[in-house]
Structure 1
Amino acid sequence: MIRRRILLGSALAVPVLATPALAQSKPVTLVVPFAPGGPTDLIGRRLAMALHDALGQTVLVENRGGAGGNVGAEFVMRAPADGSTILFGTSGPLAINKMLFPNQPYDPVRDFAPISPIGRIPNVLTVNASVAARNVQELIALGKRGERLSFGSSGNGASSHLAGALFNRMAGTSFEHIPYRGTGPALNDLLAGHIAMVFTDVLTALPHVRDGRLRALGVTTEARSSVLPDVPTVAEQGLPGYDASVFFGLVVPVATPAPARETLRAATETVLKQPELRRWLEQQGMQLAPDFTPAALTALMAEETARWGVVIRETGARAD
């Protein structure tokens, strides 16, 4: 577990909101349920800085990684329900994990109250430059001709695994899944040509696409990515409805009083409408949510649970 103080003096000029509904005697803690250094941690820290300015209170970031985000989520579930502990959740702990971990110790709907969705970050289907496919349809054709191609992921049950499983299901291909212990090892084997493809986040893929070692075939959201605007989506290349992005949202323990939840919601909406933060998030590949209400996050969690439930049941996917 790593805990750091978000310093005063953020570059974001955000009006301070009155916060009588939050306990002034202790800081607000934003729990990132993954290790430091990854995209979720980076975005969580920038968001915490902005919330500090909006709330006029100290905001701490606490990394509690493990079990695909479940360790951090369980920690927040058991935290005092006073608005002082927030989970910066993703698709895994907020929707998908309960179908991958038979003994998950919490239920995201029963045990959390939604504050706000943040947005989505797409993965991008990337292939080694030696693969004889320039677009998604050519890749599908290779698979249907019997080419033995494999896709790597950061582990069983990870978004990069499920993205490939969904692709196989919709395209009628049977690309072999090779799980790794993290994105780094999978990417190294992709660069070395040991595997054919990886579904990874756009920022991780970008430098390797630019230097020509990898080829980006398709973005996994329904809309193109601002980071890779010239790369078409998988959906527009013959697989309509394909969407394998990672969503982000804020939740608190379910018993958190309504005034505290409203204070956090209002602060979140305030900062997410600031042009400077919006630009920064978009530079990280984030596609911001069109609606920052708790109801929007509730609907998103239900939609993702239903959609991935079908894929998980049909493929038998399980977490490591």
Structure 2
Amino acid sequence: MNRRHLLGAAMAGLAAPTVVQAQPAWPSRPVRLIAQFPPGGLVDTVSRLLAPIMSQALGVSVVVENRPGAGGIIGTDVVAKAPADGHTLLVSHASVHVYSTATRPTLPFDPIADFTHMVHLVEAPNIILVRASSPFRTLDDLVSAARTQPVRYGSSGIGSAPHLLGAMLGSEARAPNLDHVPYAGSAPAMQDVMAGNIECMVDPITTNTQQMRDGSLRALAVSSPQRLAMFPDVPTFAELGFPKLTSSQWLGLSGPKNLPPAIVERLTAIVPPMLQRPELAARFTDLQTMPRTPSPTGAEFVGIMREEIAAWTAVARQFSIVVS
């Protein structure tokens, strides 16, 4: 090639535009926030508290979509199989990502690998409750009775966190007659406690604060590390001699696996400060469902999940709790 041809090729190279693949703007349309439990529950409530604030921050509508079924697995699977474009997100729940993982032989997704887990949102402790007229005034009254006679505790279902917690209590307290009665949710269990058909129930505090305030239900112990400011007379399991029962059920913000880093960074930046806004903080206090400070994000959140899966899988195996 002569000099003229070399010069022409060089000039052509300089003139050729560099093609850069532009990333589509996000969000470019409304964002679906999947709530995998029915309206009125904790996931739905928290989703609807967050949605308008997220909408304001993102500049598009954030629409809560309830997709209940199979203990939260159906809605969770919707997100696991959604496009990784940031327009379908999940208010993830320990009941699915931890307890179902611990008690079910198979799930349609991997609770870690098939999701991008971004922010630990809030967590709620569990309580053990009796009706106001119950002869059991303390946890010791209840477990002492369960050492010699049947004492039935209700839960929201086989393999649920309350079921596992009750099994641990029976073992730790050497109370072999603390018998599990599963229900299709907390509401029917509460009805049977109130009617005297079962002696007690284990349940997240969130759905029971009103009954505790009006005195129709009495809490004997709470699974939080410290006593709750709203119910200072309720002792913790730990201070009653059962530190292994310290636990909580968390909610998080997750999406499908392989969410683009820019989307993850933006959500991780904007969501934790939202949890501290006065209007949300007041509502979380009412529900006794609080964020950690600071909120665990990314790898820290996933680390919490892995530790809990390992711990509760061991409990499920110890007591042969399997959901088929």
Q: Normalising by structure 1, what TM-score?
A: 0.88
Q: Is 1:273 aligned with 2:302?
A: no
Q: Which residue of structure 2 aligns with residue 318 of structure 1? A: 322
Distance 1:247 1:304 in 2: 11
Question: Which of the numbers 180, 186, 189 marks the counterpart of 1:186?
Answer: 189
Distance 2:47 2:207 in 1: 17
Q: Which residue of structure 1 aligns with residue 244 of structure 2? A: 241
8 Å contact from structure 2 (residues 73, 96) kept in 1: yes
DSSP 3-state at the match of 1:255: coil
| 1:21/1:263 CA distance change after superposition, 3 Å | farther
Moved more, 166-175 or 34-43: 166-175
8 Å contact from structure 1 (residues 35, 65) kept in 2: yes
Deviation string for 1:219-259 (max 9, x for gaps)? 12212234323211111111123224211111111111111
| 1:216/1:24 CA distance change after superposition, 3 Å | closer
The 5 A counterparts of 1:28-39 are 28-39=31-42
8 Å contact from structure 2 (residues 152, 181) kept in 1: yes
8 Å contact from structure 2 (residues 27, 86) kept in 1: no
Cα RMSD between the aligned structures?
1.8
8 Å contact from structure 1 (residues 202, 227) kept in 2: no
Moved more, 67-76 or 237-246: 237-246
Distance 1:185 1:151 in 2: 12
Q: Aligned-pair distance for 1:176?
A: 0.5
DSSP 3-state at the match of 2:184: coil
| 1:191/1:82 CA distance change after superposition, 3 Å | same
Distance 1:147 1:207 in 2: 31
8 Å contact from structure 2 (residues 105, 322) kept in 1: no
Moved more, 227-236 or 246-255: 227-236
Q: Aligned-pair distance for 1:27?
A: 1.1
Moved more, 90-99 or 131-140: 131-140
Distance 2:101 2:220 in 1: 31
The 5 A counterparts of 1:156-167 are 156-167=158-169
Q: What amino acid is aligned across from residue 155 of structure 1 in structure 2?
A: G
8 Å contact from structure 1 (residues 222, 242) kept in 2: no
Larger radius of gyration: 2
Distance 1:206 1:95 in 2: 24
Q: Aligned-pair distance for 1:217?
A: 0.5
The 5 A counterparts of 1:297-316 are 297-316=301-320
Distance 2:248 2:156 in 1: 15
Distance 1:79 1:299 in 2: 24
Deviation string for 1:104-136 (max 9, x for gaps)? 110111111111001211121101334332222
Q: Which residue of structure 2 aligns with residue 7 of structure 1? A: none
Query: Between Structure 1 and Structure 2, how many residues are aligned?
Result: 300
Distance 1:152 1:180 in 2: 7
The 5 A counterparts of 1:185-224 are 185-224=188-227
Q: Which residue of structure 1 aligns with residue 70 of structure 2? A: 67
Distance 2:292 2:103 in 1: 26
The 5 A counterparts of 1:36-115 are 36-115=39-118
The 5 A counterparts of 1:242-257 are 242-257=245-260
Distance 1:271 1:21 in 2: 26
8 Å contact from structure 1 (residues 21, 263) kept in 2: no
Moved more, 156-165 or 245-254: 156-165
Q: What amino acid is aligned across from residue 160 of structure 2 in structure 1?
A: A
Q: Normalising by structure 2, what TM-score?
A: 0.87
| 1:164/1:271 CA distance change after superposition, 3 Å | same
8 Å contact from structure 2 (residues 155, 183) kept in 1: yes
Where does structure 2 lack aligned partners over 5 or more consecutive residues?
1-22
Distance 1:68 1:198 in 2: 19
DSSP 3-state at the match of 1:241: helix
8 Å contact from structure 2 (residues 123, 290) kept in 1: yes
Question: Which of the numbers 169, 172, 180 marks the counterpart of 2:171?
Answer: 169
Q: Which residue of structure 2 aligns with residue 295 of structure 1? A: 299
DSSP 3-state at the match of 1:31: strand
DSSP 3-state at the match of 1:288: coil
8 Å contact from structure 1 (residues 65, 71) kept in 2: yes
| 1:110/1:122 CA distance change after superposition, 3 Å | same
Deviation string for 1:61-120 (max 9, x for gaps)? 111111111111110011110111111011122222123222211011111111100121
